[in-house]
């Protein structure tokens, strides 16, 4: 991904989602004094973008300290607000690094149902394959109907081998076998798909912990990355999701999907504040090429409609 | 959290000594708390505004009755307005008043649960109203989507339209209806690809499907975890297609589900069903009066009671209750109770439905109260002699050793279990003092064996 192209495509992906927020701010601030009423309205705009009441209040409080009472133009407000949000996001905007010391670098992909785990694996496989790496995919969702076939199609699309077991096979055993195979075959990345699971189902969460335990019998340092895939349309429940997955399986980073829609993913701001987990990338479509690095400034500017 | 809201509201009103009509300022202060609660539950901002306006109007025109506090009064108004806005009392069934084959169209965003719900509805119509249902996937976008529906059809014992590669969604829809007519199906469920409400090309496509099939139900399938975007999605799909019903999925999660209120407000369409799991039978009617409490953080108490009722063996439960009432509860009964808990599935999930149970739930989660522990405890009891089960007092060191080795556990495990039994017996005595009503109210906490987790104290009150 060339950087210039990346920016324009990210903007493109985010632009639709930001029209409304941008419009909202414009409506609020055309030649207006930044008073209490204006700040209240601005706070509502942020809440409408899923930042949540607390994060929105914090952003506005900081904003109030530096800007209160000034006569501001629409553009100034947007710039300043974007910077306020970007400053929160910057520490978490970190790319996913593969460690060449691990052969393979094991990436476990987790999340609640339907967020885009399998698709994201397809996208990552594509990216890494293009970079000359040799990813192997593991069809660890042995529960959902045709989940294995779905990943197999992604394997074909990206020319990556897929390890699959019998239907309803034990995902942990499968991951164990796949790791052995990847080592023998010399694959440098192992992408392990898992069934979607709600964080409040402790039995399913324990299964995930078991996958990790069993893989560690092959490689005590595995998994090297645990990616939680979050759907940008998710509201405040995302906080609970991250909290529980982080506790249960030591999530190392987030990927936010479906940012090509009308949802704005403002919950990422609240997540950055609460957990500080890296946000590695965003999904902006259903195709293999629709994955972008997460860029704090871009994301924040996009959020406020710049 | 509803309790938290109630507390906050009573805090606001405690200072008020006056009775009679609520003042504008008092109501305003209370409604700020309500607004925050709704936003934290993911109700969309414009919907919150309308909601608050309705509550305000009603609150200002309501006399505070002598017997309740102003805070309670507001809470009741909030709850009443919530129930009304969600659709009033009771559930709205699927519309089957159309000429066979009745087309039903499933639409929504990517990953919201359309395909799974299509399978669930097929099973439901087949089992409950003996309809002959045909499943057809028009999803040519997502890899293996058509195969997914075919496999779900197999699991449900419902036929699905043979997959023909290369057909467009509209072609598949027409073929499905034609097959439905020719082969005498009652209902044809048309599952579509997920699409973003702002994707004009795909929205046009689904409009064409609608025009070609004229469905009796166009069901918008939405994730209960959806945030503020719920209004955009609902509006776009409603404007394009005329939604006739909403299905709320993943209600088995712990999201408050404010999206339900947003969707309903924007479309005016009833929420007909809700998904409570990945299995095909995890589909239930939507009852506004229950979900209202959940959005407000009160917990779906009725849902809890029903779930407990469905999973618990009634005879066994009644026998148990009778024994408790007589104060005769032995280890035999504890074993039965452990089996009941096992059947109720994730206990912590159930506790999540209850108000004020957050702390207990957290302790349970900490304790990792999993089926393995229940199984182990059952094993310990089954390694005892009948005599030991009836009179646990006789279990001393050597018996403990025998039981431990017989059940593949440790003496420590056996001790834990016996301690737990003692605690429960003590609780039974307390409950008996409360009488039958108390038993009903404390039934679940009695199911929660104390000592199963270190430091875990079953609540004596609070249900
Ligand atoms: N528009 C859009 N759709 C996506 C994105 N990522 C995944 N999807 C779609 O979301 C749905 C669920 O994705 P899937 O990978 O099967 O989710 P999983 O259940 O978490 O494995 C599919 O229809 C995907 O095509 C994204 O970034 N944008
Ligand atoms: N926990 C839970 N999972 C669900 C529910 N409904 C669907 N799912 C899961 O959500 C994921 C996406 O569902 P799917 O039917 O493929 O969504 P679609 O892309 O809209 O067709 C799958 O993993 C389903 O098993 C529900 O009510 N509860
Ligand atoms: Mg998947
Ligand atoms: Mg589908």
Q: Is the CB–ligand 1 distance for residue A197 below 6 Å?
A: no
Q: How confident is the model at residue A252, as a pLDDT?
A: 98
Q: Nearest C-alpha of chain A: how many angstroms from B147? A: 6
* C-alpha–C-alpha distance, residues B428 and B330, integer Å: 11
Centre of ligand 2 to C-alpha B248, Å, is 11
Whole-number pLDDT of residue B442: 39
With bands split at pLDDT 50, 70 and 90, how would you rate the model's confidence at A264? confident
**Beta strand A105-110 pairing with A225-231:** parallel
More confident residue, B342 or A299: A299
* Complete DSSP assignment for B436-452: HHHHHHHHHHHTS-TTS
The reported pTM is 0.79
Interchain CB contact of A287 with B (< 8 Å): no
Is the pLDDT at A7 greater than 50? The verdict is: no
CA distance A19 to A10: 14
Q: B279 to chain A: which residues are within 8 Å by CB?
A: none
Q: How far is B200 from chain A (nearest CA, A)?
A: 12
Nearest CB to A145; choose among B39, B148, B198: B148
Q: Check if B394 has its Cβ closer than 6 Å to any atom of ligand 1.
A: no
Categorize the per-residue pLDDT at A4 as very low, low, confident or very high, splitting at 50, 70 and 90: very low
The protein residue whose alpha carbon is closest to atom 13 in ligand 2 is: B113
Q: Which residues of B touch A48 (CB under 8 A)?
A: 44-45, 228
For the ranges A200-209, A257-266, B100-109, B341-350, the maximum mean pLDDT occurs at: B100-109
Question: Hey, is A87 helix, strand or coil?
Answer: helix
Check CB contact of A57 with chain B, cutoff 8 Å: no
Question: Closest ligand 1 atom, CA of A193?
Answer: 21
User: Considering only residues 110 to 169 of chain A, which have any Cβ-Cβ distance to chain B shorter than 8 Å?
Assistant: 112-116, 143-147, 149-150, 152-154, 157
- List per-residue pLDDT tens for chain B, 463 residues long: 344 555 555 555 554 444 556 777 778 878 888 898 899 999 999 999 999 999 999 888 876 655 556 666 777 788 889 999 999 888 899 999 999 999 999 999 999 999 999 999 999 999 999 999 999 999 999 999 999 999 999 999 999 999 999 999 999 999 999 999 999 999 999 999 999 989 999 999 999 999 999 999 999 999 999 999 999 999 999 999 999 999 999 999 989 899 999 999 999 999 999 999 999 999 999 989 878 878 876 544 444 444 555 555 556 666 666 666 566 678 877 777 676 666 554 444 444 444 444 444 454 454 445 567 777 888 898 889 888 988 888 998 899 999 998 888 899 989 988 887 887 777 666 655 544 443 334 344 433 443 332 223 233 222 2
**What pLDDT is recorded for position B378?**
83
Which residue do the tokens 């999701």 mark? A241
Measured between CA atoms, how close is B360 to chain A, in angstroms? 14
> A10-19, A268-277, B60-69, B368-377: which has the highest mean pLDDT?
A268-277
Interface test with B, best of A28, A50, A113 (most B CBs within 10 A): A113
Chain-chain contact of B278 with A144 (C-beta, under 8 angstroms): yes
Same fold, A3-92 and A105-295: no
Higher pLDDT residue, B312 or A99? A99
Non-local (6+) Cβ contacts of B5 within 8 A are B33, B34, B37, B75, B296, B297
Q: Which of B194, B200, B232, B249 to mutate to test the pocket of ligand 1 (most atoms within 8 A of CB)?
A: B194
Asked if residue A252 has its Cβ within 6 Å of ligand 1, the reply is no
- Chain A residues with CB-CB distance to B256 below 8 A: 236-237
Instruction: Point out the residue among A146, A231, A235 whose CB comes nearest to the CB of B148.
Output: A146
Nearest neighbour of A153 by CB, restricted to B112, B144, B227: B144
Q: What's the 3-state SS for chain B?
A: CHHHHHHHHHHHHHCCCCCEECCHHHHHHHHHHHHHHHHHCCCCHHHHHHHHHHHHHHHHCCEECCCCCHHHHHHHHHHHHHHHHHCCCCCCCCCCCCCCCEEEEEECCCCCCHHHHHHHHHHHHHHHHCCCEEEEECCCCCCCHHHHHHHHHHHHCCCECCCCCCCCHHHHHHHHHHHHHHCCCCEEEEECCCCCCCCHHHHHHHHHHHHHHCCCEEEEEEECCECCCHHHHHHHHHHHHCCCEEEEECCCCCCCCCHHHHHHHHHCCCEEEEECCCCCCCEEECCHHHHHHHHCCCCCHHHHHHHHHHHCCHHHHHHHHHHHHHCCCCHHHHHHHHHHHHHCCCHHHHHCCCCCCHHHHHHHHHHCCCHHHHHHHHHHHHCCCHHHHHCHHHCCHHHHHHHHHHHCCCHHHHHHHHHHHHHHHHHHHHHHHHHHHHHHHHHHHHCCCCCCCCCCCCCCCCC
What does the pLDDT look like over A66-96, one tens digit per residue? 888 888 887 788 788 889 999 999 999 999 9
A200: nearest CB among B143, B155, B352: B352
Write out the two tokens for A33. 């004094």
Half-sphere exposure for A111 (CA within 13 Å, toward CB): 27
Q: Cβ B226–A234 below 8 Å, yes or no?
A: yes
Ion ligand 4 neighbours (CB, 5 A) are: B 114-115, 145
Report the CATH fold assignment for A3-92.
1.20.120
Give residue A169's pLDDT: 84
Dist. CA A292 → ligand 2 center (Å): 25
Is A80 at the interface with chain B, CB within 8 A? no
**Could you report the per-residue pLDDT of A222-240, keeping only the tens digit for each?**
999 999 999 999 999 999 9
> What ligand is nearest to the CA atom of residue A143?
2
Separation of CA B445 and ligand 4 centre (Å): 40
Domain A105-295, CATH number (from 3.40.50.300, 3.50.50.60, 3.30.450.80, 3.40.50.970):
3.40.50.300
Mean pLDDT along residues A183-212: 95
Helix (H) or strand (E) holding B318: helix B314-326
Tell which residue, B266, B295, B382, B270, has the closest CA to residue B42: B295
| DSSP H or E run through A78 | helix A74-89
8 Å CB contact of A199 and B152: no
Q: Is A287 in the pocket of ligand 1 (CB under 6 A)?
A: no
What are the residue boundaries of the structural domains of chain A, listed by start? 3-92, 105-295
Q: Collapse the DSSP code of B403 into the 3-class scheme (helix H, G, I; strand E, B; otherwise coil) and give the result.
A: helix
Phi, psi of A124 (to 5 degrees): -65, -40
A:189-248 residues touching chain B, CB 8 A cutoff: 196, 198-203, 206, 231, 233-238, 240
Cβ–Cβ contacts within 10 Å for residue B174, how many? Answer: 15
Go through the domains of chain B in sequence order and give each one's CATH number. 2-86 (1.20.120.140), 102-298 (3.40.50.300), 306-446 (1.10.260.30)
Residues of A in contact with B198 (CB under 8 A): 16, 261-262
In angstroms, what separates the C-alpha of B202 from chain A's closest C-alpha? 13
The per-residue pLDDT of chain A, averaged, comes to: 88
Residue closest via CA to ligand 1's atom 13 equals A116
Identify the pLDDT of residue A8.
41
Measure the CA–CA gap between B350 and B368, rounded to whole angstroms. 14
CA distances from B431 to B166, B261, B327, B445 (A): 67, 39, 10, 10
User: What are A111-160's pLDDT values in tens digits?
Assistant: 999 999 999 999 999 999 999 999 999 999 999 999 999 999 999 999 99
């Amino acid at each position: 991904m060339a950087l210039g192209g990346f920016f324009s495509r990210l903007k493109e992906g985010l632009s639709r989602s930001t029209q409304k927020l941008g419009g909202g701010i414009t409506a609020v601030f055309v030649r207006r004094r930044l008073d209490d009423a204006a700040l209240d309205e601005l706070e509502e705009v942020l809440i409408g973008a899923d930042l949540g009441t607390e994060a929105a209040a914090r952003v506005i409080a900081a904003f109030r300290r530096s800007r209160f009472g000034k006569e501001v133009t629409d553009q100034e407000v947007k710039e300043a607000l974007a910077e306020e949000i970007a400053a929160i996001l910057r520490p978490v905007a970190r790319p996913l690094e593969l460690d060449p010391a691990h052969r393979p670098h094991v990436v476990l992909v987790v999340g609640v149902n339907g967020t885009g785990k399998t698709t994201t694996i397809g996208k990552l496989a594509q990216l890494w394959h293009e970079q000359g790496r040799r990813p192997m995919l593991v069809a660890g969702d042995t529960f959902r109907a045709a989940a294995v076939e779905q990943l197999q199609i992604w394997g074909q699309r990206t020319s990556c081998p897929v390890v699959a077991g019998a239907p309803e096979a034990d995902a942990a055993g499968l991951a164990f076998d796949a790791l052995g195979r990847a080592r023998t075959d010399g694959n440098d990345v192992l992408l392990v798909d898992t069934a979607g699971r709600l964080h409040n189902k402790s039995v399913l969460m324990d299964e995930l912990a078991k996958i990790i335990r069993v893989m560690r019998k092959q490689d005590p340092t595995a998994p090297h990355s645990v990616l939680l895939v979050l759907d940008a349309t998710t509201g405040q429940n995302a906080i609970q999701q991250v909290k529980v997955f982080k506790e249960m399986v030591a999530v190392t980073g987030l990927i936010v999907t479906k940012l090509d829609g009308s949802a704005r993913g403002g919950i990422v701001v609240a997540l950055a504040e609460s957990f500080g987990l890296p946000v590695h990338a965003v999904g902006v479509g259903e195709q293999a090429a629709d994955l972008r690095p997460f860029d704090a400034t871009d994301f924040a500017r996009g959020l406020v409609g710049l | 959290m509803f309790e938290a809201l109630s507390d906050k509201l009573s805090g606001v009103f405690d200072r008020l000594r006056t009775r009679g009509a609520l003042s504008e300022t008092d109501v305003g202060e209370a409604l700020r708390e309500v607004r925050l609660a709704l936003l934290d539950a993911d109700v969309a901002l414009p919907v919150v505004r309308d909601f608050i306006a309705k509550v305000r109007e009603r609150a200002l025109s309501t006399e505070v009755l002598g017997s309740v506090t102003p805070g309670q009064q507001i809470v009741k108004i909030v709850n009443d307005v919530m129930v009304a806005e969600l659709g009033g009392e009771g559930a709205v069934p699927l519309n089957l008043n159309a000429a066979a084959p009745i087309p039903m169209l499933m639409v929504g965003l990517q990953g919201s649960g359309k395909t799974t719900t299509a399978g669930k509805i097929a099973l439901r119509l087949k089992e409950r109203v003996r309809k002959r249902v045909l499943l057809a996937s028009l999803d040519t976008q997502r890899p293996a989507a058509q195969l997914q529906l075919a496999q779900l059809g197999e699991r449900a014992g419902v036929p699905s339209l043979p997959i023909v590669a290369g057909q467009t969604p509209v072609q598949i829809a027409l073929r499905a209806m034609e097959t439905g007519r020719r082969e005498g199906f009652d209902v044809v469920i048309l599952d579509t690809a997920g699409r973003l409400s702002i994707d004009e090309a795909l929205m046009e496509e689904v409009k064409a499907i609608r025009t070609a099939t004229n469905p009796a139900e166009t069901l918008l399938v939405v994730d209960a975890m959806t945030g503020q975007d719920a209004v955009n999605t609902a509006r776009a799909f409603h404007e394009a297609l005329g939604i006739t019903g909403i299905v709320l999925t993943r209600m088995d999660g712990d999201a408050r589900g404010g999206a339900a209120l947003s969707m309903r407000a924007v479309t005016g369409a009833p929420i007909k069903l809700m998904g409570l799991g990945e299995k095909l039978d995890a589909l239930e009617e939507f009852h506004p009066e229950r979900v209202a409490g959940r959005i407000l953080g009160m917990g779906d108490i009725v849902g809890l009671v029903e779930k407990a009722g469905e999973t618990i063996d009634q005879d066994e439960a009644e026998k148990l209750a009778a024994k408790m009432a007589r104060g005769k509860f032995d280890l035999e009964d504890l074993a039965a109770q452990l089996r009941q808990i096992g059947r109720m599935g994730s206990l912590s999930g159930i506790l999540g439905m209850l108000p004020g149970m957050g702390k207990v739930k957290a302790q349970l989660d900490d304790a990792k109260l999993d089926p393995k522990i229940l199984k182990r405890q059952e094993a310990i009891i089954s390694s005892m002699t009948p005599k030991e089960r009836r009179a646990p007092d006789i279990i001393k060191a050597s018996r403990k050793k025998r039981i431990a080795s017989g059940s593949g556990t440790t003496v420590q495990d056996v001790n834990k279990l016996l301690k737990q039994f003692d605690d429960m017996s003590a609780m039974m005595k307390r409950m008996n003092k409360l009488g039958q009503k108390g038993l009903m109210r404390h039934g679940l906490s009695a199911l929660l064996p104390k000592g199963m987790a270190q430091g875990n104290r079953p609540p004596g009150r609070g249900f």
